Chains A and B, each alone.
Chain A
Amino acid sequence: MSAGLLYALAGVLLFALGLGGIVLLRHALRRILAFNVMGSGAFLVLVGLAQRDGGADPVPQAMVLTGIVVAVAATALALALLRRLPEDRP
């Protein structure tokens, strides 16, 4: 049970938590949060799995680095769309 594998497991749990959140939660802002939790879970699995027997693997790290930037751009776009939802159905 190396540190990498532990974080990969945490990533799997976060991914499932986020997925459950997206399906169950009704408020759009909550679903955006669940979407980000899911993304972070996937990133953890990417890096944790690649480093499950120690050492730092630059390839998944580079991918996750750009993934984080894209995730914040997607969140910003989602929040902008949220602002334009009709008031009665957030």
Chain B
Amino acid sequence: MNLLLDGLLVLALLWSAWRALASPDLARAVVLFIVFGLLMALAWARLNAPDIALAEAAIGAGLTGALLLDALGRLQPGTGAPAPESPAQPPANRAGRRWTGSVALVAGLLAAALAYALFQLPAPTVRLPEQVAANMAASGVDHPVTAVLLNFRGYDTLLEVAVLLIALIGLLTLGPAAGRPAAPGPANPLLKALARLLVPLMILSAGYLLWAGAHRPGGAFQAGALLAAAAVLLHLAQLLPAWASPGRLLRLGLAGGFLIFLGVAAALLAEGALLTYPPAQAGGLILLIEAGLTVSLGLILAGLFLLFAGAEERP
């Protein structure tokens, strides 16, 4: 039964990815990719990784779909002209077909080699789960993934938040969108009502996920993604205007989480080691960092969608 469920899910994953990439028209490719994201969330649930299923659901359904559909809307002019059809089928001439065939062959060989390597891999000598479990007492939290994320590998998370900030700064340097502004749909009163109903609940759920991160799957990343999705919904309901270049307060919000994390790391440096929390205050420090991260991640991820998403500004 289980293998049947996993087998079917893997087939659905592969097939939807293949159809998404090989589909002739762009709108179908984007929609099939959103379907692929949903299937990935189910795959993570089957791989008993609830944290990742939560993150994939929050980001796949909330952000990636909206980002891609918005980009698609900008590519197709509102005048109903057909989408720029660049046929994904291999070109008719022989050279083109030979090129496509050879690339497919190389990709196939790569897949075969990797698959062979998967089967040949010896059992791991260092059992990570047991190591994490052994040190859970000193981690300050009860949930292993959060312990790894914020305590044992806190350094990676610190740099990872910096990477998110850099992506946002990259977006800011690009300045206003030069492309056609997406034709804003007519103001939809029902959508405004839905946004007013759902957004408070999303914020409450984000708070719950933040708090739950200490002892069960949840945490700053999923909570931040949920807050960003709430901002996207508000923007789609035309209750939240697109952001121009961020003012002082928004800049503080964007960088705040990272600065708090950096501050805690610097303070701990005084005790001689990077990011090793004293066991007594570990729980409190992690919650402080996660709270700051939730707000900042929510603003950063929302900024990725909202910055310059409005009508074309006169540069």
Contacts and interface: CB of A to CB of B under 8 A. Distances in A.
Contacts, number: 225
Contacts of B289: none
A78 to B, nearest CB: 9
Given A16-B110, A25-B88, A80-B177, A58 B147 contact: yes
Contact of A56 (B74, B86, B129, B304): B129
B265 interface: no
Contacts of A14: 13-14, 17
Interface string A70-90: 101111110111111000001
A29 B18 CA distance: 15
Contacts of B144: 58
A58 B148 contact: yes
Nearest to B303: A76
B84 interface: yes
A29 to B, nearest CB: 6
B63 to A, nearest CB: 6
Interface in B68-103: 68, 70-72, 74-75, 84, 86, 88, 90, 100, 103
Given A65-B145, A74-B167, A75-B67, A37 B26 contact: no
Interface residues of A, number: 68
B123 A53 contact: yes
Contact of B67 (A44, A69, A79): A79
Nearest to A54: B48
Contact of B164 (A45, A48, A55, A73): A73
Chain B interface helix/strand/loop/mixed: helix
Given A49-B118, A66-B157, A66-B221, A57 B10 contact: no
Contact of B14 (A17, A36, A55, A63): A17
Contacts of B156: 63, 66
Contact of A21 (B10, B21, B119): B21
B29 A7 contact: no
A20 B107 contact: yes
Contact of A40 (B40, B70, B114, B308): B40
Size category of the B interface is 35 or more
Contacts of B221: 65-66, 69
Given A16-B110, A40-B40, A51-B47, A3 B55 contact: no
Interface in B125-148: 128-129, 132, 144-145, 147-148
A84 B56 CA distance: 28
Contact of B26 (A27, A43, A65, A70): A27
Interface string B1-30: 011001100100110011011000010011
Interface stretch (B168-176, B187-195, B251-259): B168-176
Contact of B149 (A15, A45, A62, A68): A62
A65 B219 CA distance: 11
A21 B40 CA distance: 19
Contact of B21 (A30, A45, A53): A30
B47 A47 contact: yes
15 contacts: A5-B118, A10-B43, A16-B110, A16-B111, A24-B103, A45-B114, A62-B51, A62-B145, A66-B149, A73-B164, A74-B167, A76-B305, A77-B167, A80-B308, A90-B86
Interface of A: 1, 3-10, 12-21, 23-27, 29-30, 33-34, 36-37, 40, 43-45, 47-53, 55-59, 61-66, 68-70, 72-77, 79-84, 90
